[in-house]
Amino acid sequence: MRRTTTSVHALVWRQIRLSTLVLSALLVLIISVGLASFGASGGAKGMLSMRVLLTNPAITALYGHARSLPTAGSLVAWKMGMYLALAVAVWAALMATRVTRGGEDDGTWDLLVIGREGRQPALAMATLALGEGGLVLGLVTLLSLVIGGQSFVDSLLYATGLTGVAWSAAAIGVTASQLLAPRRSASQVALGTVIVLFVLRMIADASNANGWLRWTSPFGWLENTGAFQHRAAVWCVPLVLGPCVVAAFGWSLQRDRDIGSAWWTRADRSAPRTSLLRSTWGFAWRERRSTVFGWALGLGLWGLTVGYLTNALVVFCHSDHAFVKLLDHWGYGSMANGKGFIAEVCVLMSVAMGFFVVTLMTMVASDSLLGRLDLPFSFGTGRTEWLASTALVTVVSVIGVGLFCGLATWCGVVVSGTSMSVATPIEGMLNALSPMLLIAGASLLLVATLPRFAYVVMAALLGVSYLIAALGPTLNWPQPVLDSSVFHFVRLVPTEPTNWSATIVLCAVGLGLATVGYLRFLRADIGR
């Protein structure tokens, strides 16, 4: 048993170590910038003016509840904490489906689980390794806060909550891997569950009447711990026991199924569907359609929820002029009206759409590494046609999802009671797509040069780029640093005109990167 579990443990850590290191570095960077921004904003005295922000339903839905911001740690936990937790949860869910369902799909688990112990100890050790990865992220968070001069108790409370969120998402991923096959379906269900749990936390914080919904989400449990606020350590209990219960349920599901199968999978006797396999264009869509639908559903739900908060923010701004002055001071004055708030939402959507583009483009790397390109290329399909199909499907999908998100946001605005033309959010979403060609070109270049790490590297670059765009202007960072962020050039449309000159430059650079990536892909070995 020792040799089997050790093998699985080493295999899992080999698969997650790079992404763990990258995410750890991002946590250190974001927390460090957040701590520095507290001092740059005037410290505790500067935060006094933000108290009115802490009571606005739209703001609390985005960032969570906080009574005050007396320390740098409280600012980090409130302004960045929920989105750090979301990033950690997405990582944990994806890594869980990768090392469990992905291992069964590609056959790497076959030899590992052979023996008298069976595959249940292997799954238990894989789950344990995922838990250790979440613990590493928690320790990195704790050390970053403590070295930054924050209270050890509060830092430990927040780090414990973040670790619990990672464990919860990993347990969801492990369970989804037992229920669904192939890996892509399991990943979509796991990520969809994480997004729904995050939206439940947003709904809970948008109204006191819905506060009980925080009890149903790990993100709500993290908020209820009250790190740097009221300190309710009892909420660490569900953050630890909840993942254990879900993981145990997933572990029990494996006993009654064959390895490589799942509880819900297509029967062997079902008729094959070949309608989208007659061309590279059809295959590119078939390979990505479930991913497109999953992203559309998740982003549409987010747009609907945020759009519904528009009326609460506008009403509050009209009744409190001090709040409007505060928004102006922090660079968010445009949010004082409905159009400005939707414009800010569309800028956030731009970041999410960037990750969507990376997901679609890096599927080419998966095709190569898993051997899917050997057969079509040997029968005359050209690499140019394959990349062109991928690019076309990506462009059409991104535009379609962008329009759908704009429409969903408009529906939320209308339901909230605010009058707004449907063209407003759609125009904002189309403007938010301006950096997508550059992101797609960079993704293609990485796919051609570093296929195994293309997604991880692009995800890290997008995270840093958004951090620069979000905090750089407030902290008066040098202009060259600001210009290094693709999101820095995204204007608040429709309250501001589109930055056409920057858009043209971004598109030109994106085409240049795509050309280099294309030429490199033509000469690259398949499967490496």
Query: What is the rounded CA–CA span in Å between residue 441 and residue 444?
Result: 5
Mean pLDDT score, 151-165: 95
Residue with tokens 């026991």: 241
Q: What is the pLDDT of residue 63?
A: 84
Q: What is the pLDDT of residue 433?
A: 93
Residue with tokens 């529906």: 411
Query: What is the rounded CA–CA span in Å between residue 159 and residue 28?
Result: 12
**Percent of residues, the chain, with pLDDT higher than 90:** 35
Q: What is the pLDDT of residue 334?
A: 57
Residue with tokens 């500067």: 46
Give the three-class secondary structure for 43.
helix
| Structural tokens at position 504 | 């043209």
Give the three-class secondary structure for 261.
coil
CB 469 within 8 A of CB 475: no
In this structure, what DSSP letter does residue 210 have?
A: G
Mean pLDDT score, 117-133: 82
CB 179 within 8 A of CB 253: yes
Q: What single letter denotes the amino acid at residue 511?
A: L
Helix, strand, coil: what percent of the chain each, to 5? 80, 0, 20
CB 131 within 8 A of CB 171: no
pLDDT of 353 > 90? The answer is: yes
In this structure, what DSSP letter does residue 208 have?
A: G
**Percent of residues, the chain, with pLDDT higher than 70:** 84
Convert 101-136 to b/e letters by CB count within 10 Å (16 or more is b).
bbbbbeeebeebbeeeeebeebbbbbbebbbebbeb
pLDDT in tens, 46-93: 777 677 677 777 778 878 888 888 899 998 998 888 989 999 999 999
pLDDT of 463 > 80? The answer is: yes
Mean pLDDT score, 271-299: 78
Q: Is 298 exposed, middle or buried (CB count within 10 Å of its CB: 0-12, 13-18, 19+)? A: buried
Count, in order, helices (H) and strands (E) of the chain: 24, 0
Query: What is the rounded CA–CA span in Å between residue 212 and residue 150?
Result: 30
pLDDT in tens, 16-34: 888 899 899 889 988 988 8
Name the range with the highest mean pLDDT among 50-59, 217-226, 283-292, 318-327: 217-226
| Structural tokens at position 20 | 């763990």
Mean pLDDT score, 422-437: 92
Residue with tokens 């056409």: 500
The residues, ordered by sequence, that sit 6+ positions from 259 with a Cβ below 8 Å of its Cβ are: 104, 109, 110, 113, 119
CB 8 within 8 A of CB 125: yes
Give the three-class secondary structure for 264.
strand
| Structural tokens at position 312 | 């609460």
Query: What is the rounded CA–CA span in Å between residue 228 and residue 283?
Result: 51
Q: What is the pLDDT of residue 270?
A: 46
Q: CA 286, 291, 297: angle at the middle one, nearest 5? A: 125
Q: Is 477 exposed, middle or buried (CB count within 10 Å of its CB: 0-12, 13-18, 19+)? A: middle
| Structural tokens at position 521 | 């892909």
Residue with tokens 């051997």: 371
pLDDT in tens, 364-392: 887 777 677 766 766 667 778 888 888 99
Query: What is the rounded CA–CA span in Å between residue 179 and residue 195?
Result: 19
DSSP per position, 486-521: GGGG---TTTS---HHHHHHHHHHHHHHHHHHHHHH
DSSP per position, 440-481: HHHHHHHHHH-GGGHHHHHHHHHHHHHHHHHHTTTTT--HHH
